[in-house]
Amino acid sequence: MLGGRLRAARHTRFVGRAAEKAQFQAALTASELPYFVLHLYGPGGVGKTTLLQEFALLAEQIGAPSAYLDVRNIDAAPEAFLTALERAANLPSGRTLGEHLAASNRYVLLIDTYETLAPLDSWLRETFLPGLPETVLVVLAGRNPPGAAWRTDVGWQTLARSLPLRNLAPADSEDYLQRRNIPTDQINAVLDFTHGHPLALSLVADAFAQRGELRFEPDQVPDVIHTLLTQFVQKVPGPAHRAALEVCPLVRITTESLLEELLGVEDAHDLFNWLQSLSFMEQGTEGLFPHDLAREALLADLRWRNPDWYADLHRRARQHYIRRLGETGGLTQQRLLTDLIFLHRDNPVVKPLYEWKLGGHFLTEPMRPTDITAIREMVTRHEGEESGRLAKFWLSRQPEQALVMRESSGQLLGFLLPLALDKIHPDDLDTDPAVRAARVYLSQQPPLRVGETATLFRFWMAADTYQSVSSVQSLIFVHMMRHYISTPGLAYSLIPCADPDFWAMGAAYTEQIRLPQADYTIEGRRYGVYGQNWRALPPAAWFDLMGEREIALFTPGAAPAPVEQVLVLSEAEFASAVLSALKDYTRPENLRGHPLLRSRLVIEQTGPDAPEPDRIATLRSLIRATAESLQQVPRQARLYRPLYHTYIQAAPTQEQAAELLDLPFSTYRRHLKSGIERVTSLLWLREMGGDAGLVEN
């Protein structure tokens, strides 16, 4: 079978780990298992997966069946885990998993990438593992050592062991390089360069395989992986392959379709297959991604060697994600926002404020009525009795707004409660100091227009870590971003923070303004508030601004992107501006400085830094497309022709336009007025962030 040949091929390149293998073999061959769980842990690229494969071979030689399962892309739910494990164990029909495992004197379960299954850790520790037969040895391999719950449990203290994995010893590293046919006269240089890191050794060997004449000189550049990949990428099949290799470290996940769009090619199948063949590329259910060390080195190399191409790729990726955000919803939209945030993972301001390894899949869903008690207890624990009471109060007033994050067992991990300030009943306005302060701030701003709303993220926290940086907090931030782009007419958002100073740099970088007038105090604790004016900087323009700032950080000589403020018009001012733009439609030079060029309507299409000629062209295109859309609705089609002959392909006079249409002048004027009003209302709907699709009336 091919599987056997694969295992044999991998074994020929396996070196070292004698102590680890001996410990595993001793446990497996003992008359009774001395322990039932072996925690194998170490940093990325240190060889955990390779050692698990060697454990499987050892088990086979001893006569013990084994099952290997990489849980990286398995949902953190018991059902999903059990289904995947049954598949990995080749569970016979009609037999339960327990029966199957108990049928052998020894059975080995090898669970890889265990850190991504963190939400299931308690279920595995307390339910799944205790239910296994006493003949089963489970190896949990991940980046992190076992958590406190494992170390403090008296039972697991005696029935589990930990095995940290480190770099290879010099002799083992040399053995590996010899097996990869590295020239003898260069082995010492490679050993000094890699310090025995297995992934680095593998990449060095790949570089030699690509370029047999390679002369390895590590002293020229002290960064091991950086120099390694600089050598490697000099020998790729062609420019398209190099470009594909440069896409991978920038984005979270690489797919064929993403390569096609970012590289502008019609078919990326061969490029994708080539990437998949590289030793440092890993794959999951969503696509390919480079090993962490390879990702960092490739990206550093790209920014150093070709900053302009880096900036271009960054913009293309950002535009791709933003475009798709408007086409999707639900979990797909959540993943796209995660992809968009991932573009900023090296940013020195953003990086410490976000947990980039979310560690499995949390379930995010609307709050259930049965969650209210647990949420109140969570708020009370972190903020006090009065805040707990207020949380329960607002959950009863706007329950549809609340989102909860929970693990597969149903236990709450955190929650987010955005309050729609404009929908609060007048009798409730003085109930909460936070709402009262937010209303004071809003009263100092231009009033909300019809169709606009303002959001106060009244409560946001993780059950264990409150508002500190964590996986739950990071997921909450993703859902805040979803709120920004999915809430029609969102004018303002406010975020209260228990420790506003901690978030100050990140808030300033992301255009969140500190609002002391919106601060509030509850039970002697003062909360600082940051706010965003989405009328002045709409979400699409904000995304562009963040992207350009990111590029400026890593592109020598690039200036930070300017902040172009949107001109906020009342509905009457907007209608007047549309009419004047219609009148000057055929005279683009008269549209210079036009107020609609700074409207949300235009800036969301062009970006905040587009030159004025591009904005004029966009405004004219929007006007024409909106007018032409009237033809799609039979009852509105008669309104299009007066608009066309008066403004778009204008007749010399309105009287002549009426003659062209063969309409009495009074009928023509009535249709023209209705057409202007309809076009204005459709454009206003887009200005307010709503769906500008036609509504027949």
Residues 682, 661, single domain; the answer is yes
Residue 495 lies in a domain: yes
Dihedral angle, C-alpha 293, 299, 303, 307, nearest 10 ° = 170
Mean pLDDT computed over 485-498? 94
Q: pLDDT, tens digit, for every residue of 188-199?
A: 877 876 778 787
Contact (Cβ atoms closer than 8 angstroms) between residue 596 and residue 602: yes
Q: Domain check: are 185 and 248 in the same one?
A: no
Residues 151 and 262 in one domain: no
Question: What is the pLDDT at residue 233?
Answer: 55
The radius of gyration of the chain from alpha carbons, rounded to an integer in Å, stands at: 31
Within 8 A by CB and 6+ apart from 13, the residues are: 176, 179, 180
Report the C-alpha gap between 579 and 381 in whole angstroms: 57
pLDDT of residue 213: 67
Residue 24 lies in a domain: yes
- Residue 563: pLDDT band with limits 50, 70, 90: low
Residues 201 and 105 in one domain: no
Both tokens of residue 272?
Answer: 């994708």
Domain end among 325, 350, 382:
325
**Block residue for tokens 């006090």:** 384
Same domain, 421 and 533: yes
pLDDT of residue 594: 87
CA distance 620 to 585: 7
pLDDT at residue 514 above 80? Answer: yes
130-189: pLDDT as tens digits:
999 999 999 999 878 888 889 888 889 999 999 988 888 888 989 888 888 888 888 887
Distance CA 593, CA 609 (A): 15
Q: 542, 557, 591 — which closes off a domain? A: 542
Q: Tell me: pLDDT of 340 over 70.
A: yes
H helices present in 211-306, as ranges:
224-232, 239-250, 256-263, 269-277, 292-305
Position 696 confidence tier, pLDDT thresholds 50, 70, 90 = very low
Q: Residue 42's domain is classified under what CATH number?
A: 3.40.50.300
Output b/e per residue, 11-49; b: 16+ Cβ within 10 A: eeebbbbeebbeebeebbeeeebeebbbbbbbbebbbbb
Residue 353 lies in a domain: no
Per the structure, the complete domain to which residue 202 belongs is given by 170-232
Q: Look at residue 20 and tell me if it is in a domain.
A: yes
Q: What is the pLDDT of residues 369-409, one digit of tens each?
A: 999 999 999 999 999 999 999 999 999 999 999 999 998 78
pLDDT at position 363 is 82
Please indicate, yes or no, whether residues 194 and 274 belong to a single structural domain of this protein.
Answer: no
How many domains, the chain? 5
The count of C-alpha atoms lying within 13 angstroms of the C-alpha of 562, restricted to the half-sphere facing its C-beta, is 7
Structural domain ending residue among the three candidates 277, 300, 325: 325
Q: Name the 3-class secondary structure at 74.
A: coil
- Are residue 207 and residue 117 in the same domain, yes or no? no
Mean pLDDT for all residues in the chain = 86
Residue 635 corresponds to which tokens in the numbers above? 């009852």
Contact 618, 602 (CB under 8 A): yes
The lowest-confidence range among 68-77, 87-96, 192-201, 230-239 is 230-239
Residue 566 in any domain: the answer is: no
Range scoring the smallest mean pLDDT among 119-133, 143-157, 250-264, 351-365: 351-365
- Please give the C-alpha separations between residue 99 and each of 18, 92, 133, in angstroms, as whole numbers: 33, 10, 9
Q: What is the CATH number of the domain that holds 506?
A: 3.40.630.30
pTM of the full predicted structure? Answer: 0.60
